[in-house]
Amino acid sequence: MKLISYLSLFLVPLVIFYIVVFALLQKKPVFELFLKGAKQGLITVAEIAPTIIGLLFAVGIFRNSGALSFICNLLKPLEAFLPFPIPILPLAILKMFSASGANALLFDIFKNNGTDSYVGFSASILLCCTETLFYTISIYFMSVQIKKTRWVIPVGILLSLVSLILSAWIARVFIS
């Protein structure tokens, strides 16, 4: 596992290298394209800034009121039977509805447990392998006027549960 982690550090530089070389071979103005994309990226961040400020504020209130730890403590006795840490359960549920809401909760976990603790690392992995289920389903099906979604929602929820268990398990393997 150490080796895999080490090799994965090469991935980002390698992808960047490949992109730049591929574009140069096509005789593209690479730096100008980079500037165009970077500018767009800055605009994207500026656009989500109000959402992040608003959500971090709301999660901050909820966390500091003691309500979040109260709920987690209520569920604590279950932890021995569950294959994942309790704090990532609300994260998985929130992620089905709203990506930015889940992110705000993730920052809270990072702040209180650390990014590379068991809980923090499971949370990082969890958000990498789940998607905003209900949001995606509603915009995609709405666009083609589909009303009967058949098995999509149950299977989607099942997959979220699978990701929840998997990410906790993989986090344990990688941390040890």
Partner 1 sequence: MLNYIWSFLIIAGIMFASFTGNIENVSNSIISSAKDAIDLLIVMAGVVSMWNGFLTIADDSGLVKYLSYKMKPLLRFLFPNIPKDHVANDYICANFIANILGLGWACTPTGLQAMKALQELERQRRVNNRRPHSDFHGCHLNTLPADIDNEYTASDEMCTFLILNISSLQIIPMNMIAYRAQYGSPSPMAVIAPGLISTLLTTCIAIVICRIMCRPKT
Residues 71 to 90 in contact with partner 1, rule: CB under 8 A: none
Q: How many other CB atoms are there within 10 angstroms of residue 172's CB atom?
A: 15
Report d(CA 147, CA 61) in Å as an integer. Answer: 38
Residues 85-144 close enough to bind partner 1 by CB under 8 A: 94, 97-98, 100-101, 103, 106-107, 110-111, 114-116, 121, 124-125, 127-131, 133-137, 139-141, 143-144
Out of 74, 78, 82, 146, which residue is the one contacting partner 1 (CB under 8 A)?
Answer: 146
Q: For residue 151, state whether it binds partner 1 (rule: CB under 8 A).
A: yes
Out of 66, 75, 76, 83, which residue is the one contacting partner 1 (CB under 8 A)?
Answer: 66
Out of 16, 74, 78, 82, which residue is the one contacting partner 1 (CB under 8 A)?
Answer: 16
Q: What angle, 0 to 180 degrees and rounded to 10, lies between the N-to-C axes of helices 99-113 and 118-128?
A: 160
Amino acid at 57: F
The rounded radius of gyration (Å) of the Cα atoms in the chain is: 20
